[in-house]
Structure 1
Amino acid sequence: MVTGVMAELAALDDPKVRAVNERHGDDHGVNLGKLRALAKRLKTQQDLARELWETGDTAARLLATLICRPKAFERDELDAMVREARTPKVQDWLVNYVVKKSPHSGELRVSWSADPDPVVASAGWALTTESVAKKPEGLDLEGLLDVIEAELKDAPAPLQWAMNHCLAQIGIEHPEHRARAIGIGERLGVLKDYPVSPGCTSPFAPVWIDEMVRRQQHKR
């Protein structure tokens, strides 16, 4: 089964798509719409998902995150997978489509956030950002802001991006912490000059917070 799926993925590989992806650190050439269509046809297959992941191929691993059963993975299995997920898209899909739906997500969020590997730590901060927005009960938001204030400026790129997202999310979702979150963003200036396409919101936390809050108020 896995051999046939790998052959399908190879047939879908497009050099032009690969060239674009490689500029963003991703080493695959499969159009994601076609990848999702393949996943829809295969439906949920946990054993196949594990086999695809074990190939180490980026497109295969992306497909694995779409056809797996997130709750079927053990904690240590997910920990190993996030350490193997070295391309941005694989890590993003693994965290968002698998780990966030796992009963182990809370425990992994805590352990990963403090991990010395910045890629693993960024996964932990992505889970924290999710909790800030959806399940803030039990989170020490002041403590998170303390860590962000101390470490954001000099954090490696993937971790800095994830921590900055958390900073913005705290400011957007929690009015009582908004002024401090904006102040931290202004003092540190992280991503202030990040190039943004027309119509897109800047990742610079003060601008990001202001824009999202404005949209929320407009909806009311």
Structure 2
Amino acid sequence: MSTVDDVIAELAALEDPRMRAVNEKHGDDHGINLTKLRAVAKPFKTDQRLALQLWATGQTPARLVALLVCSPRAFDADELDTMMRDPRVPKVTDWFVNYVVKKSPLADQLRERWFDDPDPVVAAAAWSLTSVRVAKRPEGLDVDALLDQIEREMKDAPAALQWSMNETLAQIGIYHPAYRARALEIGEKLQVLADYPTSPGCTSPFAPAWIGEMVRRREGAAALPGR
């Protein structure tokens, strides 16, 4: 049976100084290829005890493995709130929200708890969860109020929060035709991420471009035979 020390030693052996230099430019304090890190986690499948021990080390690679092997349903709301406020490493925060919080039955409770949090990273998580609701379970959401807040606050929001609010704006425009014109209008007015560098073949995160491309794809798929 592998111990925490075994896992940490295995991760340390994967450290690449050149990759660390690249990651540190994005605020991530590790130099491990994430495909190789996932391979370290894979044999454990779900191991909540090991996950808690790895998280407690405070080390970024160990915490990333912890997020891959934990059971999202095993945490209560206060535990998830504490974990959300603990990491200040972008990749840990990203994986925590996407691999743990979004898979928890407490996701919507936390969305409401974090929505107007003064910490922009925590508030960004709430908007990310809101994007999921907009696309998959919009019942009960006040879409007009969301658009009002986006129009009022997104332009001057901190980067992480701005990105998540922009995602919600795009999801509203993509999945809710009745609000599409207003979503496009807000995006054009605010010009958030209009100049974001986008590789050829990739969709721009600029909301009007994102909405337009995804709507075209959805409408094209719906027109295929058998749909």
Q: Give the shorter-chain TM-score range.
A: over 0.9
**What is the DSSP-based 3-state SS (H/G/I as helix, E as strand, rest coil) of the residue aligned with 1:137?**
coil
1 CA distance for matches of 2:202 and 2:140?
Answer: 33
Structure 1 residue 111 displacement after superposition:
1.3
Amino acid at match of 1:69: S
* 1:100 to partner: Cα distance: 0.9
Partner AA of 2:191 in structure 1: G
Offset at residue 22 of structure 1 (A): 1.4
Partner of 2:197: 195
Paired position in structure 2 for 1:157: 159
Query: Residue 105 of structure 1 aligns with which residue?
Result: 107
CA RMSD of aligned residues (A): 0.9
Aligned residue among 16, 23, 35 for 1:21: 23
Partner Cα distance (1:133, 1:20) in 2: 33
The ranges of structure 1 where at least 4 consecutive aligned residues each deviate by more than 2 angstroms after the TM superposition are none
Gaps of 5+ in 2: 223-227
Give the CA deviation at 1:163: 0.3
Aligned residue pair count? 220
Q: Does the residue aligned with 1:136 lie in a helix, a strand or coil?
A: coil
Of 63, 66, 73, which aligns to 1:64? 66
Aligned to 1:209: 211
Question: Would you say 1:144 and 2:146 are equivalent positions?
Answer: yes
**Alpha-carbon distance in structure 2 between the residues aligned to 1:208 and 1:187:** 15
Choose which of 6, 23, 48 in structure 1 pairs with 2:8: 6
TM-score (norm 1): 0.98
Residue in structure 1 matching 2:134, options 124, 132, 138: 132
- Aligned mates of 1:218, 1:28 — CA distance in 2: 42
Question: Aligned partners of 1:4 and 1:204: how far apart in 2?
Answer: 44
Alpha-carbon separation, structure 2, partners of 1:52 and 1:212: 39
Give the whole-Å Cα distance in 2 for the aligned partners of 1:169 and 1:99.
19
**Tell me, what secondary structure is at the counterpart of 2:118?**
coil
Gaps of 5+ in 1: none
Q: State yes or no: 1:43 paired with 2:45.
A: yes
- Percent of matched pairs sharing the same residue: 66
> In structure 2, how many angstroms separate the alpha carbons of the residues matched to 1:9 and 1:22?
17
Q: 1:36, CA displacement in angstroms?
A: 1.1
**Inter-partner Cα distance in structure 1 for 2:220 and 2:105:** 36
